[in-house]
Amino acid sequence: MTISGDQGSPAGQAVRVQQPSRMTLPDFLQSVNLKYVKLGYHYLISNLFTFFFVPLIIVTLIHFSQTDIDDLHHVWIHLQYNMITILSCFAFIVFGLTLFILARPLPVYLVDFACYRPADRLKAPFHSFMEHSRLTGDFDESSLEFQRKILLRSGLGEETYVPEAMLYIPPRSSMATARAEAEEVMFGALDSLFQNTNLKPKDIGILVVNCSLFNPTPSLSAMIVNKYKLRGNIRSFNLGGMGCSAGVIAIDVAKDLLQVHRNTYAVVVSTENITQNWYFGNKKSMLIPNCLFRVGCSAVLLSNKSADRRRAKYKLVHVVRTNRAADDKAFRCVYQEQDDAGKTGVSLSKDLMAIAGSALKTNITTLGPLVLPISEQLLFFATFVMRKLFKADVKPYIPDFKLAFDHFCIHAGGRAVIDELEKNLQLLPVHVEASRMTLHRFGNTSSSSIWYELAYIEAKGRMRRGNKLWQIAFGSGFKCNSAIWEALHNVKPSPNGPWQDCIDKYPVEIPLIAQ
């Protein structure tokens, strides 16, 4: 599978809008027939065990029901003379089961999570954004017009948020204001998490914080330990420079730690800092993050305690990580650097979409066998054999991930990212609704965006018991990471959620704009 966008457009710009071709009645009937044929095939393969073995079991039971009582008595006498063998087998089975129970990975539960909701005074409608950009005096007319076009094509709405330091003229981009932004978003999310879960800060055994571009000393994790007076033996980690996919990486780190340290809680805080990373230059590829990135933060409570299964929302099923940093082009496609005038910013390469597609392909190649039903795996394998061994001229088979997942949280990195994954994974509009609405309402909040999306699904009342969720995140390096969750019951939104006062307004229509 490949993802191909407009090679001249970096992330966040819209792809060209093409009008769908008219479908004739025979084509429509053929597509409907193929749809039901595939559904029938999937049902048959998924229930193959039942179709073959249930009749066999029934026949066996009928046979035993007709067995003579004398035959059963002879069997019992035979067992009495082989009691040592029977006891040895029983002891071996008990030992094996005990070893399996002790060696198997501990389940990791997501008890609850919270997303920071900024104050209304931090909203940045388009006209305010452009006026502030003009008044700073740092951008020429060409750069201002470029930013205006990016905003119109980005998929962002009029109610996204910027840090308070950016509302001043000139902006107050200092270490103090950057710390203030970090404290505001992290403590805001954690306060909501502690309130919703009744968790005492002293109960936290593991703390993982990720923020790509702001890494002060003491660290952000140390700021949290200091604020909430966490215990002295807490295992705290601070992940920096890992981009928008670092939230999944942080979950993976916490998961591994929960396998070692039993009967404890882990808190994962994912955020990004904008105050010191706003670009005040005129290089086009470095202006795009100004138009896309907005304020946000998430705090997630994980547990390995069996007692928490009842109140937990989700169980972690898989984490699959793909890192393409060994490739030079992938390594530099999202790159923090200085322009010719010495101003620092993050540059986005025009090859970003193609590189993201390649990383996604590698990621789902690993993920597919873990989550796809056997019916899809057989189709994929058959196509692979035909192409590689028989050199048949057939298209690569794209697995239907809708058969494996009920919900999708695609990183809200930009409109083009969501468009391309919707097209290439053959998703329906409802599957990308959470991603589009999160981008519209909150913008690209970096590593926390997938949690705002999950909060949207919960607020809509769509998460039912047994539903599978796929979180997909992309980040600098270049990385593509996936986290798979299973709902343990019908999930209700937590109090004070980010969508609490506006969920009834969504989904909204986002107009398509041609290149």
> What does the pLDDT profile of the chain (515 residues) look like in tens digits?
444 433 334 444 433 333 344 444 445 444 545 555 555 656 556 666 565 666 767 766 666 565 555 665 666 666 566 667 767 777 878 877 777 666 668 899 999 999 999 999 999 999 999 999 999 999 999 999 999 999 999 999 999 999 999 999 999 999 999 999 999 999 999 999 999 999 999 999 999 999 999 999 999 999 999 999 999 999 999 999 999 999 999 999 999 999 999 999 999 999 999 999 999 999 999 999 999 999 999 999 999 999 999 999 999 999 999 999 999 999 999 999 999 999 999 999 999 999 999 999 999 989 988 998 888 888 877 877 787 777 777 776 778 899 999 999 999 999 999 999 999 899 999 999 999 999 999 999 999 999 999 999 999 999 999 999 999 999 998 999 999 999 999 999 999 999 999 999 999 998 765 33
List, edge to edge, every strand of the sheet that includes 407-410: 235-239, 204-210, 265-271, 297-303, 109-115, 314-323, 479-487, 468-475, 407-410
Cβ(431)–Cβ(367) under 8 Å? Answer: no
Rounded Cα distance, 464 and 479, in Å: 30
Could you identify the residue written with the tokens 């029977």? 86
Q: Residue 321 is encoded by which pair of tokens?
A: 């990580």
Read off φ and ψ for residue 406, nearest 5 degrees: -95, -25
Cβ(185)–Cβ(296) under 8 Å? Answer: yes
Of the candidates 220, 303, 197, 308, which has an alpha carbon nearest to the alpha carbon of residue 269? 220
Residues 6+ away with beta carbon under 8 Å from 218: 226
How far, in Å, are 181, 182, 202, 222, 510 from residue 227 at the CA level?
A: 15, 12, 12, 9, 41
Cβ(348)–Cβ(476) under 8 Å? Answer: no
- 10 Å CB burial of residue 170 (0-12, 13-18, 19+) is exposed
Q: Residue 153 is encoded by which pair of tokens?
A: 């094509």
Domains of the chain in start order, with CATH, are: 58-104 (no CATH), 109-370+399-505 (3.40.47.10)
Rounded Cα distance, 475 and 65, in Å: 63
Cβ(208)–Cβ(253) under 8 Å? Answer: yes
- What separation, in Å, do the N-terminal and C-terminal C-alpha atoms of the chain show? 25
Rounded Cα distance, 376 and 29, in Å: 23
Overall pTM surpassing 0.75 (yes/no) = yes
